Amino acid sequence: MMADHNQLADYTLSERNLRYDRLPRAYLNWAQPFGNWFEAGVTAEAVRFRHEVRDEGSRLDVMPYVSMPLEGSSWYATPKIAWRHTAYDLDDTLAAANGGDASPSRSLPIASLDAGMFFDRKVSFGKDTYTQTLEPRIYYLNVPYRDQNGLPRFDTNPMTFSWGQLFRDNRYTGPDRQIDANQLTTAVTTRFINDANGRERLSASLGQIQYFDDSRVVVPGETAVEQGKSAWVADVGISPTKRWSINMAYQWDPKYRRQDLASIRTRYLIGDKGVVNLGYRYRRDLTEQVDFSFLYPINQTWSVVGRYYYAIDDRKLLESIAGVQWESCCMAVRFIARRYVRERNGDLDDSLRVEFELKGLGSAGQKTESILSRAILGYDRDDLYLVPPSSLEDDDFDHSLDQIP
């Protein structure tokens, strides 16, 4: 049982700009293997959407499935069949806008096949021996069309096209929309793994989707997927040492012969706590940005923090942070000066924040740790192990410009 509550941080905006509160939200994920070759399971979510000024409603999304996870020493194949049923209970105002239907629903099957192979060989560079892998993979997805124009859209947006989306059964973030699909992903990954310590020094992936039919399910403002091939998606991760890492992503559209995305992020770890990040991101017709951030320890208790986040295409600062913090075993004090985009029209705002924290008991003053954790990747060293390999690219809803909360 969970709950999401949103508050308006920018009072120049209206309440209508807030996302829906999900109060309450219950989620279930159950899977049961039967022997080595069969699995059954179900994912389900029940949520009540609440909002101060927008129409409200409830949604139940249930998706039972069966799959056959077949595998050998150098291959795997997982056929899967699911049935997705999504039902709503809408308040009177929203039902009236929906033609008087207070209980719309949608049901459809989802069939997929995920298969791949593993090859490896030994290679040497200088005195080091590596295992190089070659991992071809295919993913076929078939989903019939269902008219979903009569369904509300509470929390569902198109995802940004990325490596992870090559193997998803839906290109939307929520269940209010389920794509229709007849498509095949082909991809390949190679890795170089150090035999002495098991560290992955290099990984490189390349993939593309073949769409056999036009997609008919779209949301307002979204470009429909047409029959043909998607952009090529490349993803590269390099770790020359245990402290240096470089992540790159690139997308090339062969139909229009143009690049859709290019990004690179480098990271250097300083001691046990420090980090320096430098990144660049380009998305065609949407944004071109550079991002520099750091946490630099002066000694065991004092450190300085900073960020410079700039939109090249708009020639505009998105966020800058400069600060200092003192931390001991029992308490911490943080002071930061911040300039950032707060309003939708792009105006900049300035703030000074001070926070006093007694560890394990709470804090007083303005929250700074959450701002720094978001702005500086690696501010909390444990967060580095939760970050996907794609550089700078959020696998989330599509947005034309990152808004700084």
* Confidence at residue 358, expressed as pLDDT on a 0 to 100 scale: 85
Angle at 400 between CA 397 and CA 403, to 5 degrees: 85
The pTM of the whole model exceeds 0.75: yes
What DSSP state is assigned to residue 16?
Answer: G
* Confidence at residue 350, expressed as pLDDT on a 0 to 100 scale: 86
CA 160 to CA 140: how far, in whole Å? 20
What DSSP state is assigned to residue 172?
Answer: B
CA 27 to chain centre: 19
* Confidence at residue 345, expressed as pLDDT on a 0 to 100 scale: 61
CA 6 to CA 253: how far, in whole Å? 38
Which residues are within 8 A (CB) of 370 and not within 5 positions of it... i.e. 6 or more apart?
Answer: none
* Confidence at residue 365, expressed as pLDDT on a 0 to 100 scale: 60
* Confidence at residue 92, expressed as pLDDT on a 0 to 100 scale: 80
CA 277 to CA 268: how far, in whole Å? 7
* Confidence at residue 20, expressed as pLDDT on a 0 to 100 scale: 80
| Domain ranges within the chain, ordered by starting residue | 270-405
* Confidence at residue 62, expressed as pLDDT on a 0 to 100 scale: 98
Could you report the average pLDDT of every consecutive run of 10 residues in the chain (405 residues)? 51 55 91 95 95 87 98 97 97 75 94 98 93 98 95 92 95 95 98 94 98 95 91 97 95 95 96 94 94 95 95 92 92 91 74 85 72 90 57 41 34
* Confidence at residue 330, expressed as pLDDT on a 0 to 100 scale: 86
CA 188 to CA 207: how far, in whole Å? 6
* Confidence at residue 329, expressed as pLDDT on a 0 to 100 scale: 84
CA 66 to CA 81: how far, in whole Å? 6
* Confidence at residue 101, expressed as pLDDT on a 0 to 100 scale: 84
Which residues are within 8 A (CB) of 381 and not within 5 positions of it... i.e. 6 or more apart?
Answer: 269, 272, 273, 275
Burial of 393 (0-12, 13-18, 19+ CB in 10 A): buried
Q: What is the pLDDT of residues 32-62, one digit of tens each?
A: 999 989 999 999 999 999 887 788 899 999 9
